[in-house]
Chains A and B, each alone.
Chain A
Amino acid sequence: MGSEVLLYLYGAVSLSMIVFNIIYNLILNEKDRRLTSVENRFVKKMEEQLERLDRGEAAEEKHFQKLVKKLSRVGNLNAFDKMLRDHLEPRASEPAVQKYMHELQNVFLQLAVVYRDRENVQAAYFAYFLAGHRQKNHMAVDTIQDIMVDYMKKDNLYCRVNALQALYEFGSPESVVEAVALQDRMGRFFHEKILTDGLLSFKGDHRRLTRLLWERLDRFSDRTKLSVLNYIRFRSGEYQEEMYAIMTDEGADKELRLSAVRYVGRYPYPPAKQALLSFAADRDPNRWEYLAVSVSALAAYPGEDVISALMGAIHSSNWYVRSNAAESLRAHGLGYEELLEVVGGQDRYAREMMMYRLDRKRLEEEDAMERAVAE
């Protein structure tokens, strides 16, 4: 019927695949040996240059030209990456090594241009390489950072993440803000978590970075704004007034307002107390998230009015509001006696929630005692 011909064809392709995989496996087994061999060649060449530098001579221009050519192959770049980590960077305090690294900046600059035009996978690897070898005081920072911002235009998520990581490592707030703005303008998906956690890993002046980001905040999309607000919440307590303005802005995006409420919970701002109490008194079921988050934030605000609001919130029909209210009451240091109205009351849901929080407090104290005894 001819169907067996189709099976023969499939079989032949499959057999070719097996042969390919066997050969690939053999190559893989050799890979480590080849990598070490290339790395050793790099070490030898580098040592020659270091000796020259030790003698007070200049490093050879030809050596760096050859390096650019060799490192244009991603396999060699991989070996060079290993060489830098294993042999050069541990000796970073030696004057000759410092001079050599200074000379390398031009090589990296040329490579940044070469890899910018390569396929995305290789460009991403170069950005990763650069992020891993931040050379304080050695990099021609402005130029290479401009090129890294270009990497942000690539389609590939990893390339953009690695390029941003390199910029965080360089520590220039202006370049980071420019890259964040570019990323935002391009409108490609970038998870808030990646941006927030990335900004937190920035190696430069966070105060300046937060200020620059804040200045451009209005021009960002809500998604980027949220990442920036979350970053600021983890990094700086200097934006209480601004956060308060966002929190009370009825026209602002809900997630942004909630982030601002969390901020004034983390960094108490007395003028915000009344607004928080208003949220906590709001019984509109469509606005329960404001209620739940503000009840949490009130843990940081003293006062009878706060306790009273929390005692009211613990009777909410919403599980999250009850849970947060119980946690805040616990944070205010109230014991069984002060909470008698709740723990001895008729509302079973409020009672159970409060009892659990008090149970947890007791267990934490017991655990702490056990640890102290063990030590």
Chain B
Amino acid sequence: MRDILQFFFDCVGFFFVLYMIGYASFLFLAVMVGSSTLYGAKRRNALKNELLNEYYLPVSIVVPAHNEEVTIETTIRSLLALDYKLYEIIVVDDGSTDDTSRVVQETFHLKHVNRPIQRKLQCQPAEAVFESRTHKVPITLIRKKNGGKADALNMGINAAQYPYFLCMDADSVLQKDSLEKIVRPVLEDDRVIAVGGSVRPCNGAKIRDGEVIKYRMPNQILACMQVLEYDRSFLAARIMFDKFNGSIIISGAFGLFKKSVVIDAGGYNPATVGEDMELVVKLHVFCRENQIPYRIRYATDAICWTQAPERLGDLCRQRKRWHIGLYQCMTEHRSILMNPKYGMVSFVSYLYFLIYELFSPYIEVFGVCTIILALLLEFLNWPYGVMYTCIYIVFSAVLSLTAFFARIHTIDLKLLWMDVIKAIGLCMLEVSCLRFLLAWVRMSSLIGYRKKKVSWGKIERKKINFT
């Protein structure tokens, strides 16, 4: 019996060594590629290797909103402050039960019109349409029956007049040059069908006229740890995926899409809560199946500021949602797995998300349970186990800090000593505690999961510091 158990623990040990080496190698590569790319981009920008003149592709900005009375005004004001000429703003109120519509109507003087909307994508019907042409750009508010975020986005696409649309969250604000910068990859290469922007937590930022005038690491520990997590996981990893056209997620908070391709691909799927990732994966599938040359890009210098949850409960709810969305997307498009037709998207991006995002909470919790079992059965090599755990934590913390320090290569963020101290202080806590807590949350997210249940996430909203 002891031999069988020994064999079992050896196998588990071997698997985890492979698993951790895979993860460490991925993180290492991502952070290195991310840092060097940011460095190169900063140098190019300093030497004016960018499209500096006024080249404007017309863009429709779609803002789906559900009970966003607290933040919607700030969001629209940030959109009106954009340094761009040719765009329109479309707010889709998806059956809010608060005063979202009233705030928009009254603040921006919108008037009721009998506007027909073409049904290119299926969505709940519009109840009323309001417009204003008295601002810098046209503003449209569409009030519709509740159908979820994807449904609201589809309505926005239907109403969009321009060939490109930009989706964003109603609790986010765009930096004033962000639209100009997110459009640039399209001007540089006409195969580009989607561009993801860089989403940063705005906790700790002060924004005036669409420009960040003060940015500090947030005071709240939880928000601060998320900043480190964003730098390491989102910024670095997405830059690396971008290198081989392998991005399979563009954050719903900030992404630009070619409208015609999205419509041909079927638009957002209202049956999923991870509609942003699902759309991007669907675009890969659609373009490859139809042999359409395409590129999906990531614009590191196009910045959107969003609120990171400051309460643990909100963070857990957000991550549960993300995990369910990930599960739905991965199962919906499982044909990509190990399919040579999809190249690197299949063998790197999809596999990474499958193993290190979807399965990782189960694998990690299984690992902890095995350690406890080994401890109880006196199989645990204590000194070796502790050493390995410490190496892993220190290594992850070093990578977090590497990604954090790489922020100096982004256009507008400065490195302040107080922020450095906070980052060093919290990086260990983030990789050793928050990561495991979130693994548990993500693992439990599918318990009681029902396929048809789609609703807007509820996170406490605060007004963004935007003047």
Contacts and interface: CB of A to CB of B under 8 A. Distances in A.
A125 B330 CA distance: 45
A82 B236 CA distance: 34
B118 A14 contact: no
Interface string B363-404: 000000000000000000000000110011011001101100
Contacts of B28: 10, 13-14
Chain B CB within 10 A, most for which of A7, A15, A198, A319: A7
Interface in A112-126: 120-122, 124-125
Interface of B: prevailing SS: helix
B69 interface: no
Interface stretch (A52-60, A94-102, A153-161, A289-297): A153-161
Interface residues of B, number: 53
A347 B115 CA distance: 16
Contact of B113 (A122, A161, A359): A359
Interface stretch (B184-192, B248-256, B306-314, B428-436): B184-192
B53 A14 contact: no
A14 B28 CA distance: 8
B24 A7 contact: yes
A363 interface: yes
Contact of A28 (B24, B131, B402, B408): B408
Given A158-B50, A352-B114, A194 B24 contact: no
Interface stretch (B40-48, B95-103, B205-213, B437-445): B40-48
B116 A352 contact: yes
Nearest to A360: B113
B4 interface: no
Contacts of A78: 46
B130 to A, nearest CB: 10
B113 A14 contact: no
A6 B189 contact: no
Interface residues of A, number: 53
A18 B20 contact: no
A125 B49 contact: yes
Nearest to B119: A319
Contacts of B52: 128, 162, 165
A349 interface: yes
Contacts of A13: 28, 32
Interface of B: 17, 20-21, 24-25, 28, 31-32, 35, 39, 43-44, 46-57, 111, 113-116, 118, 131, 133-134, 186-190, 387-388, 391-392, 394-395, 398-399, 401-402, 405-406, 408-409, 415
27 contacts: A1-B17, A6-B24, A10-B25, A11-B394, A14-B401, A17-B31, A17-B405, A18-B401, A21-B402, A25-B415, A121-B44, A121-B49, A124-B47, A124-B49, A125-B47, A125-B49, A156-B49, A158-B44, A158-B48, A161-B51, A193-B56, A197-B53, A197-B56, A355-B114, A363-B111, A367-B133, A367-B134
